[in-house]
Structure 1
Amino acid sequence: MSKQRESIISAGIDIGTSTTKLIISRLSLLNVAGISHVPRIEIVDKEILYQSPVYRTPLLDETTINTSEVEQIIQHEYDRANILPHMIETGAVIITGEAATKNNASEMVHYLSKEAGEFLVATAGPDLEGIIAAKGSGVFAKSKGNRLVRANVDIGGGTANIAVYKNEILLGTCTLHVGGRLIEFDHHVIKSISPPVRSMLKQEGIRLQIGDSHNHPHIDKVLNMLLGTLSRTLTNELQEKDRPLILGHKPDWRLPIDVVTFSGGVSECMYQLETIESKASYNDIGILLAAKIQQSSIYEKFIVEAPMETVRATVLGAGTQTTEISGATIEIDPSKLPLKNIPIIKHDFHEQIENGISTLEKTFQQARRIYDTAYVENNFALSLTNIPLVKFNDIQRIANEIKRLMNERNHPDLPIILVVESDLAKVLGQSLIAIGVQQPVISIDQIHVDTGDYIDIGKALKTDVVPVIVKTLTFHSSEQ
């Protein structure tokens, strides 16, 4: 008997500092396991059904997104695509850049996730946005299997989000106030100057103000300052004068970068890979910044590669779903299942127990920056990979370090969720319980996930295994 395919409709909505866009896809599912094996459903094909034009993100004022206009845009595009909300079975609503800092950002995204279909919801902070963009631009995939250190620099309207990878391992992130909308124009005069740029101008003693001509010579000085901070970030040589343009933490990667790829709206001005007819109009410094980058010494210091995607790198499809069944060697608290939309942070032991334990804290700090904010009660799952052959004493050491770090979370009472690629989930989970952790423990095995993925963990089956949905944001390549 031939295997039957099933398809689901997914949607992606990206609300950024400058632009808002939507895409509808059809994902084809197939059970790829043999007849006598446990079913394994994988996405075997994806088809882009509809791409919206790129809209200017509507704002009520500098601190508030115009929710009603965003809703109208989405409804209009659903109508054009002949799609009803109940037809959408999976997907992503992502809010990025400075749009994520607006007063009503979180409220709006959660509302849209309910009204526009069954969505994976992610209000992307700067670190997560950099990770997502690196996957969309192709940098994450290109990093596999070679020794080159690759940086994806996603430059939108308000920020440049940098994610650095080597062999699909995230080495670090950094976000800068570098973007196309930091200075905006109206009728050939300056309409707005962003607070970070105003701070930089004051620091440098440069006078530039609203009402000045769009040809004012000091605009070029601003561009040089933005580019200087970006270049020094990539070489890890930031100076005190760069502080006004740093959003959050400084670069936290240690290895020197070999290859740089630019994505985002500013890179669209560089490469013009976007093929849709209707584009948002830009009355800002984006085009000037793109030209300045192309003429800069960055091209001398690094190998610069074009992205697979520019303005659509952050999110162009919806969630890919891969249903997996965890192994039988698991430790779970049934009262806490099912769990939905749990983000992943990956920790690689590299077959070295001492280094693996000693670097756990760095992974945790990264996870806290990305997912565990003080004002949102979000949990995350720790993925443990490439653990070497270990003794029981080593398992206890891992458990003790996990216990210590989990207690430092902003919300330490949330369940401890572990995803272990090898068959150590049960013994590690039981070790945590034995040393007296106060939290419920969910420890599952034989699941492959990456940082930036999300998982759903279903209720335990009669065979003492649990179904797991791995959701990875999918992206559409310009080459398809």
Structure 2
Amino acid sequence: MSAGIDIGTSTTKLIISRFSLMNTAGTTHVPRIEIVDKEILYKSPVFRTPLKDYSTIDVEGIEEIIRSQYELAGILPSQIETGAVIITGETATKRNASEMLHHLSSEAGDFLVATAGPDLEGIIAAKGSGAYESSGKSGKVIANIDIGGGTANIAVYKDKQLLGTCTMHIGGRLIEFNNGRVSSISPPVKRLLESYDISLEAGEPINETAVQFTTEFMAGSLARILNRQARPEDEVLLLGHLPNWQEDVDTIVFSGGISECMYRHEAEHEQVAHYDDIGIRLANSLMNNEMLKAFQWQEPIETVRATVLGAGTQTTEISGATIQVASHELPLKNVPIYQYSFHHDLQEGLNRLDEAIQHAIALYDSTEEGQNFALYISELPYMGFKDIQALAKAIIQMMESRPDPDQPIILCVQTDHAKVIGQTLTAMNVRQSIICIDQIDVETGDYIDIGKSLDSGVVPVVVKTLTFHSA
């Protein structure tokens, strides 16, 4: 059972799913457990995200929404074995965002991930909107642009391979109105207008010229980013890095609340009250922008629900069946990854291993507070029994140099060596707990969550980014 909860700038929604697992390898092969079916059991209505004030999330309000929806779905939190609480857009800048997420991830079920990385938001939305699947069928470069109340999260795919990401301050609630007057303007939009000597202040009557300039600039800036032709004036709308894909985009897919203004997928469903903001104006500017019209447009499978569907059904991977885990240590959350390649040369790799471990410690535990990490071992050569013993012995020695050497030794192995390495470490009477998994693709800078062992002997794993950005 999986749950996805998306707490966005404008809206909050939830889905409950059921996964089916199956051994997809033949009877004479090493078992490979995969998710073979995903069934959505319940979709919540779309709720307005409750806030106490501009900088504080109403945690009790969020909890009440989740509690009521679990009850309507006939689901207990204890039944949820995996899933994601994703906080998106401007909501991730609220001062109690991190506190709320980690509280919810334990209160709402055995969640593996509670995250706010803008790049991950884009990736998850692309999977929920259908852009990811479509990239595998069309052979084209497809950019999914998920635009909600506060941000536009771009993820570019080709053949189901992520080519790059970018996040922008583009969203429906970056200017809000109340009774014909401006009630709020986000800091990035404020800086944009000031750079063009355009006046728009909270409390003033709506200046349609300024609003139109803002939405048209957003549309033009997005088009330039998609074409990798960013100008200096576009930087005010960037949240983080410039676009990092290298191929030209062929097709664009819009998801999120703004795409709902374009496609009206939810028109027949009971929805929250109309939002007094620039959302509809922004949707019109995007649809009328000539540079954006030059791309091929593809309608999404989901609009406002793309992120929550991706969070509930697409974040979980399954480890290999050839693993060795100390079940009492699970679940583990927010474990940083350090990738180390042997380049198919065991002895040379062992010679460099101590230096790599020291670098991992410097990267993740420079203050020696005991932050553990997972060592991802890749490109191992063919190994005999003595080679496995030599590798295990080196790992034990190197892990003793950690500031807190009693922490579990967490290993991710690219190939199907996890069980034999884990058993060898155990046979050497290593005093630490051993978590040794395989068939998970990660790299330095990723974080993983490892869930409790399932009946099939595997563990669910979530690979993620973990970033809270500031306003």
- Residues 1:188 and 2:214 aligned together: no
State the SS of the aligned residue for 1:83: coil
Match of 1:406 in 2: 360
Closer/same/farther in 2, CA of residues 398 and 220 from structure 1, 3 Å limit: farther
Which amino acid letter does the alignment assign opposite residue 321 of structure 2?
I
Structure 2 equivalent of residue 417 of structure 1: 375
Say if 1:161 and 1:176, in contact at 8 Å, map to a contact too: yes
1:272 maps to 264
Q: Deviation at 1:178?
A: 0.5
Q: Do 1:342 and 1:380's aligned partners in 2 also have CA atoms closer than 8 Å?
A: no
1:325 paired with 2:316, answer: no
Q: Deviations over 1:152-192 (max 9, x none)?
A: 11111001111222333322221111101001111232211
Query: 1:4-40, CA deviations, whole angstroms, 9 ceiling, x for partnerless residues?
Result: xxxxx32221101110001122333445556676665
Partner residue in 2 for 1:120: 112
Residue aligning to 1:442: 411
Q: Does 1:205 pair with 2:174?
A: no
Q: Is the 8 A contact 2:57 2:97 kept in 1?
A: yes
1:250 Cα offset (Å) = 1.9
User: Which residue identity does 1:13 align to in structure 2?
Assistant: I
Match of 1:469 among 435, 455, 460: 460
Distance 2:48 2:11 in 1: 5
Equivalence map 1:331-342=2 (5 Å) = 338=329, 340=331
* Deviation per residue, 1:259-278 (Å, 9 max, x gap): 22211111111122236612
Higher relative contact order (CA 8 A, sep 6+): 2
| Whole-angstrom distance in 2 between the partners of 1:312 and 1:71 | 19
Q: Identity over the aligned pairs, expressed in percent?
A: 45
The equivalent residue for 1:171 is 163
Q: Tell me the equivalent position of 2:241.
A: 249
Contact 1:433/1:441 (8 A) holds in 2 = no
- For 1:320 and 1:336, locate their aligned partners in 2 and report how far apart those are by CA, in whole Å: 19
- Code of the aligned partner of 1:168: K
2:40 equivalent in structure 1: 48
Query: Contact 2:13 / 2:308 at 8 angstroms: preserved in 1?
Result: no
Give the superposition deviation at 1:107: 1.3
Look up the SS of the partner of 2:306 in the other structure.
coil
TM-score under structure 2 length normalisation: 0.77
More divergent stretch after superposition (432-441 vs 179-188): 432-441
Size of the aligned set, in residue pairs, is 417
In the alignment, which residue of structure 2 is the partner of 1:365?
Answer: none
Which of 450, 461, 464 aligns to 1:456? It is 450
Find the aligned partners of 1:419 and 1:323 in 2 and give their Cα distance: 15
Q: Deviations over 1:383-439 (max 9, x none)?
A: 98xx98x44577569868955763552436533431648777987966974995745
Matched-pair contact (CA < 8 Å) for 1:326–1:468:
no
Structure 1 counterpart of 2:300, from 307, 314, 319: 307
Distance 1:149 1:23, change over 3 A: same
**Match status 1:78 vs 2:70:** yes
User: Take 1:43 and 1:314, find their aligned partners in 2: how far apart are those partners?
Assistant: 20
* Alignment check: 8 A CA contact 1:396 1:431 kept: no
Whole-angstrom distance in 1 between the partners of 2:318 and 2:106: 22
Instruction: Tell me: CA distance 1:458–1:278, structure 2 relative to 1, closer, same or farther (3 Å).
Output: closer
Conservation of the 8 A alpha-carbon contact between 1:178 and 1:226? yes
Q: TM-score normalized by structure 1?
A: 0.75
| Secondary structure, aligned partner of 1:247 | coil
CA distance in 2, matches of 1:61, 1:122: 22
Partner of 1:154: helix, strand, or coil? Answer: strand
> What amino acid sits opposite 2:280 in the alignment?
I
Task: Tell me if structure 2 keeps the 8 A contact 1:190–1:213.
Answer: yes
Give 3-state SS (helix, strand or coil) of 1:48's partner. strand
Q: Distance in 2 between matches of 1:32 and 1:238?
A: 45
The amino acid across from 1:442 in the alignment is: L
Distance 1:424 1:199 in 2: 58
